């Protein structure tokens, strides 16, 4: 029988990555002393600071070219030679990333994409109660657990003595101990919760690391430390637009929605926008750009995306960085907006932001591999402009990025089919109706592809137009996606 789940929120994990932890401190009490006579001394009491419990295990994976080094330690544990456990992996970084992409694809095709009944599509992605599919679920979980074991075994395969000792230590720690708080600090984005161990006795459900332990994943780079989020009853938003676009399409409805549900600031002039960007504190939840976008050469062989409001000034990434540069390391500076770029060619983020949403992107499916490889955080990219998920919608009714990209480039674009190859992990889901909340897990990925073909269809006239439904994204469902992303980012 379905029943209400009791949920206790003990901490906000994302806040721990953007704020400095409070250190433990000691209290010296003179009233209570240890020892006697000349050997008496004050009693020292270690008192932990309020906050999350300490980690039980930290596993680090570092990349140097194609070579990989792994290390691990447990808090308070004495290790051989008074150092952490470490070893060099025999598998190369490209091979490991290939295995990770394969594992995610298997999960997508075998579980998420399971679609036996057209009247109840994708049951494992859209329902909570799997009781009617218990037998199918058991078979699929057993298959996926075996895939997870194969990944872990292949990752640590090798006969080098240090690697053998590391493999035995990690396997013993992951299997003999339950409910550990584990941080994987990795230069590669790997699906750690999908990996599995050989438990004793073997249990396909309990053998997944994500089921057996509490998993956190961090990378070599991290966003600037910022103060805690301010408490307020309404989100703070801005509409940065061109006066000539305010009445086009359903733009008035989107503006009214922002006015009704948020504290809205409207900017139509670049001077006002740059003045706001120059301030140490720009505490907006959403910065919505409904304006023009184009690639600008700037007398360089490498074009950069620039947006333009009502005036003729091109606003590119370097201009934004110039205005924010003095506040990058200030502890009192606040700048963590969710940026929505609703403009042509908006495939490159123009600032260091938490996340971004792009509707019907007009770019090749491999654009993030070929054109924007440094957009995301990663090894050697601590200053990457995008610090959170990049969410992209696509619709098969988008003829501009479908038929015309196919004719010009030999394959459809992102706005028609979603992202193809990319240097970071991807996740795919569907555009939800306004009364269906987005789970945090659906949007918490470097790239999220949103299939909006059931909404972005256009009318009869639109379907006959050469661009199809390319611009048919101004719907309540789009605003619901935007506000959900802003809510999760905080």
Per residue in 149-192, pLDDT (tens digit) is 999 999 999 999 999 999 999 999 999 877 888 989 998 889 99
Residue 475 CA to residue 251 CA, distance in Å, equals 10
pLDDT of 230 over the 90 cut: no
What's the whole-number average pLDDT of the chain?
A: 79
Q: 474, 471, 475, 292: which is closest to 399 by C-alpha?
A: 471
* pLDDT tens by residue, 378-391: 665 555 667 678 89
Burial class (CB in 10 A: 0-12, 13-18, 19+), 407: exposed
Q: 349 pLDDT band (50/70/90 cuts)?
A: very low
Are the beta carbons of 375 and 368 closer than 8 angstroms?
Answer: yes
- Over residues 220-240, the mean pLDDT reads 70
Residue 89 CA to residue 70 CA, distance in Å, equals 7
pLDDT of 425 over the 70 cut: yes
Query: What is residue 347's predicted lDDT score, i.e. its pLDDT?
Result: 44
pLDDT of 221 over the 60 cut: no
Weakest mean pLDDT among 37-51, 136-150, 267-281: 37-51
Query: What is residue 248's predicted lDDT score, i.e. its pLDDT?
Result: 76
Q: 293 pLDDT band (50/70/90 cuts)?
A: confident
Residue 435 CA to residue 484 CA, distance in Å, equals 12
Compare 480 and 148 and report the one with higher pLDDT.
Answer: 148
Are the beta carbons of 123 and 114 closer than 8 angstroms?
Answer: yes
- Over residues 324-334, the mean pLDDT reads 81
- Over residues 373-380, the mean pLDDT reads 68
Look at the alpha carbons of 270, 276, 282, 284 in this order and tell me if their dihedral is positive or negative.
negative
Distance (Å) of CA 389 to CA 64, 223, 419:
25, 13, 13
- Over residues 189-200, the mean pLDDT reads 90
pLDDT of 27 over the 80 cut: no
Q: 352 pLDDT band (50/70/90 cuts)?
A: low
Compare 375 and 37 and report the one with higher pLDDT.
Answer: 375
The pTM (predicted TM-score) of the whole model is 0.47
Query: What is residue 350's predicted lDDT score, i.e. its pLDDT?
Result: 38
pLDDT of 420 over the 70 cut: yes
Tell me which range, 73-87, 101-115, 367-381, 408-422, is most confidently predicted by mean pLDDT: 101-115
Query: What is residue 52's predicted lDDT score, i.e. its pLDDT?
Result: 53
Please state, for a pLDDT cut of 70, what percent of the chain lies above it: 75
Query: What is residue 467's predicted lDDT score, i.e. its pLDDT?
Result: 67
Look at the alpha carbons of 264, 267, 272, 274 in this order and tell me if their dihedral is positive or negative.
positive
Query: What is residue 84's predicted lDDT score, i.e. its pLDDT?
Result: 80
Query: What is residue 25's predicted lDDT score, i.e. its pLDDT?
Result: 47
- Over residues 326-355, the mean pLDDT reads 69
Query: What is residue 56's predicted lDDT score, i.e. its pLDDT?
Result: 85
Q: 201 pLDDT band (50/70/90 cuts)?
A: confident
- Over residues 85-111, the mean pLDDT reads 90
């Amino acid at each position: 029988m379905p029943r209400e789940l009791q949920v206790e929120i003990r901490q906000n994990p994302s806040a721990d990555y953007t704020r400095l932890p409070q250190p433990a401190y000691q209290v010296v009490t003179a009233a209570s002393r240890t020892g006697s006579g000349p050997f008496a001394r004050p009693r020292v009491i270690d008192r932990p600071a309020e906050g999350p419990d300490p980690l039980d295990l930290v596993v680090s994976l570092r990349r140097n070219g194609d070579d990989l080094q792994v290390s691990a330690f447990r808090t308070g544990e004495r290790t051989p030679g008074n150092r952490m456990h470490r070893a060099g992996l025999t598998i190369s970084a490209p091979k490991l990333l290939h295995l990770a992409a394969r594992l995610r694809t298997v999960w997508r095709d075998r579980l998420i994409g399971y679609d036996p009944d057209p009247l109840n599509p994708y049951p494992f992605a859209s329902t909570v109660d799997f009781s009617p599919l218990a037998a199918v679920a058991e078979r699929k979980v057993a298959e996926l657990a075996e895939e997870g074991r194969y990944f872990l075994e292949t990752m640590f395969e090798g006969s080098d003595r240090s690697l053998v000792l590391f493999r035995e230590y990690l396997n013993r720690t992951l299997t003999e101990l339950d409910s550990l708080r584990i941080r994987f600090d990795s230069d590669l984005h790997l699906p750690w919760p999908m990996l599995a161990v050989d438990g004793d006795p073997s249990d396909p459900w309990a053998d997944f690391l994500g089921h057996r332990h509490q998993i956190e994943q961090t990378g070599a780079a991290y966003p600037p430390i910022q103060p805690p989020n301010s408490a307020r009853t309404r989100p703070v938003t801005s509409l940065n637009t061109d006066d000539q676009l305010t009445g086009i399409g359903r733009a008035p409805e989107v503006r009214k929605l922002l006015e009704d549900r948020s504290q809205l600031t409207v900017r139509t002039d670049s001077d006002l926008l740059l003045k706001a960007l120059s301030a140490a504190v720009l505490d907006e939840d959403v910065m919505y750009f409904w304006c023009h976008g184009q690639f600008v050469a700037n007398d360089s062989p490498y074009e950069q995306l620039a947006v333009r409001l009502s005036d003729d000034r091109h606003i590119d990434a370097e201009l934004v960085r110039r205005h924010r540069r003095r506040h990058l390391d200030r502890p009192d500076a606040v700048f963590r907006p969710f940026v929505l770029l609703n403009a042509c060619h908006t495939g490159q983020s123009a600032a260091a932001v938490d996340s971004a949403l792009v509707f019907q992107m007009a770019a090749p499916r491999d654009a993030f591999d070929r054109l924007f490889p440094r957009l995301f955080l990663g090894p050697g990219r601590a200053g990457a402009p995008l610090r959170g998920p990049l969410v992209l919608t696509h619709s098969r009714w988008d003829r501009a990025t479908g038929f015309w990209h196919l004719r010009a480039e030999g394959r459809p674009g992102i706005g028609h089919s979603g992202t193809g190859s990319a240097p970071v992990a991807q996740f795919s889901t569907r555009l939800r109706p306004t009364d269906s909340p987005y789970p945090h897990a659906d949007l918490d990925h470097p790239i999220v592809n949103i299939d909006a073909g059931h909404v972005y269809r256009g009318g009869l006239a639109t379907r006959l137009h050469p661009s199809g439904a390319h611009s048919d994204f101004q719907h309540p469902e789009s605003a619901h996606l935007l506000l959900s992303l802003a809510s999760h980012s905080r």
